[in-house]
Structure 1
Amino acid sequence: MSGSLVIAGLGPGDEALVTPEVSQVLAEATDIVGYTPYVERVPARDGLARHSSDNRQEIERAAHALEMAAAGRKVVVVSSGDPGVFAMAAAIFEALESGDSAWRQLDIRVLPGISAMLAASARVGAPLGHDFCCINLSDNLKPWPLIEKRLRLAAEADFAMAFYNPRSKARPEGFAKALNSLRDACGPERVIVFARAVSTPEASVRVTTLGDAQPEMADMRTLVIVGSSLTRVIERDGEPFVYTPRSAP
């Protein structure tokens, strides 16, 4: 097959954080596919078709991209951050496994990007400097009891934790429940970071404790980091530094 499919990460927002490799495939693409706000980050040009869709149409979007690649197009599926972190890479492979067997012969590549988790961590220092885990708090694709179980076990293991999709308008109660679970498991003094829209002009960062954290401090553009019991805060003028030491007793 002469077509190709690339699943590419556009990074957390700042165009300077898009990798040169991703910039190159975007320049060569005939078709861009993705969630509307991400597709709009790719400038229109002659010879480029942009195919945007709603955020809950991942499998349909993936099948469309595979069909176009099979027809000989140079297709790039875009995600924000890294495409392999709660994004389109997994959806593409789900569609590939269950779809036309001929699709498996396509030239398919995944190009990494800087994730919101890593951008947020870098903004405040190194809160993920030792063992950590990453949990998507959305219950759209998994039941809430499973999320609560993972929160409880991650806290028991004393991981630093990074949370995606903490609080939406449609389900604001979930993050409140998550904060209560974390307070019970970790105590009120545990460090928590709210990093919203990092690397964009709307960026804001708040460092506080679980005891003072409120659900309204997060929305769907916020990456939340909860430290381990070892995570430290270095106070200074302006935003403090937050880091987790590289060793554990």
Structure 2
Amino acid sequence: MNPNQRLYIIGAGPGGLEHLSPAAHAALQSCTDLAGHGLYLNLLGPLTEGKIRHKTPMGEELARGTLALDLAASGRITALISSGDAGIYGMATVVFELLARKPKPEWAEVTIEVIPGISAMQAAAARVGAPLAHDFCVISLSDLLTPWELIAKRIDLAGQGDFAVAFYNAVSNKRSWQLLEAQKTLLRYRQPETPVIVAFNVTRKGEQITVTTLGELDPEPLNMLSLVLVGNSETRRVGPWVYTPRGYHTKPELAD
């Protein structure tokens, strides 16, 4: 097998290069070609120097994955870039779906390596403390690829299960009603005072982190770059921090 027929699927982290893993750094250094959305390639800054950049617009994920596989099959060491973690609403699943549904014979020669990255929810949680310290789930509110009826069911079950919830794709220029519906559903299971974190451009220029409550959550100022973390029934604030306890308060050392 040709060692140059290699595809790295890289989770580049939330944006700040300080959160890019050493494994991702090493893979990028070895690459000849980079494929990704222009914003994510730009966030790599000087790490793209000397590489051929293949920029594709948002919504062209299948074309981007096909391009990356074709480049690697042709003997170009290629990196397919996602923000956050490539396996969480990222490009890794696109590549494997192409291999499963629309394979080309030459793709079978490509060595694929998925390199994990820090997700936006992890970065946002770290900014405020430890709101995801107990069981949590992640739900995308975009209904472009998933029927809203299924999304609504998952939100309801997350409420029943008392999971902390990270909402991706919370709002867009064309829709905000899904976040309002999610808020309404979760308010059936937890108090209006439940802490909520709204993160925008976390670790990037223009970062904004707001701590509010479930009852006061307002979708109007938000956009597609906003991430919403909703605590569970035990999530609380201590000074400027937000955390979700795991039961350590029942230990004799911390018991009231």
- Structure 1 stretches of 4+ with a deviation exceeding 4 A read none
Q: Which residue of 1 aligns with 2:22?
A: 20
Q: Which residue of 2 aligns with 1:171?
A: 175
Distance 1:45 1:157 in 2: 47
- Post-superposition shift, 1:29? 0.9
Q: Which residue of 2 aligns with 1:96?
A: 99
Provide, for residues 67-113 of structure 1, a one-character-per-residue CA deviation record: whole Å limited to 9, x for no partner. 11111110100011111110101111111112114423421000011
Distance 2:16 2:10 in 1: 15
Q: Does 1:189 align with 2:193?
A: yes
- Post-superposition shift, 1:201? 2.6
- Post-superposition shift, 1:136? 0.9
Q: Secondary structure at the match of 2:26?
A: helix
RMSD value, Cα: 1.5
Q: Secondary structure at the match of 2:75?
A: coil
Is residue 31–residue 74 contact of structure 1 (8 Å, CA) maintained in 2?
A: yes
Q: Which residue of 2 aligns with 1:155?
A: 159
Is residue 134–residue 161 contact of structure 1 (8 Å, CA) maintained in 2?
A: yes
The count of corresponding residues between Structure 1 and Structure 2 is 244
Segments of structure 2 that go 5 or more residues without pairing to the other structure are 251-256
Distance 2:244 2:65 in 1: 38
Q: Which residue of 1 aligns with 2:42?
A: 40
Q: Does 1:132 align with 2:112?
A: no
Provide, for residues 128-167 of structure 1, a one-character-per-residue CA deviation record: whole Å limited to 9, x for no partner. 0011111111111101111110000001000111111100
Distance 1:110 1:185 in 2: 38
Provide, for residues 7-40 of structure 1, a one-character-per-residue CA deviation record: whole Å limited to 9, x for no partner. 0011111111111111111121111001111122
Provide, for residues 229-248 of structure 1, a one-character-per-residue CA deviation record: whole Å limited to 9, x for no partner. 0111112xxxx200111228
Q: Which residue of 2 aligns with 1:68?
A: 71
For residue 115 of structure 1, what is the amino acid of its counterpart?
S
Q: Secondary structure at the match of 1:184?
A: coil
* TM norm structure 1: 0.93
Aligned sequence identity (%): 43
Matches within 5 A, 1:73-88: 73-88=76-91
For residue 78 of structure 1, what is the amino acid of its counterpart?
I
Segments of structure 1 that go 5 or more residues without pairing to the other structure are none
Q: Secondary structure at the match of 1:40?
A: helix
Is residue 130–residue 247 contact of structure 1 (8 Å, CA) maintained in 2?
A: no
* TM norm structure 2: 0.91
- Post-superposition shift, 1:64? 1.1
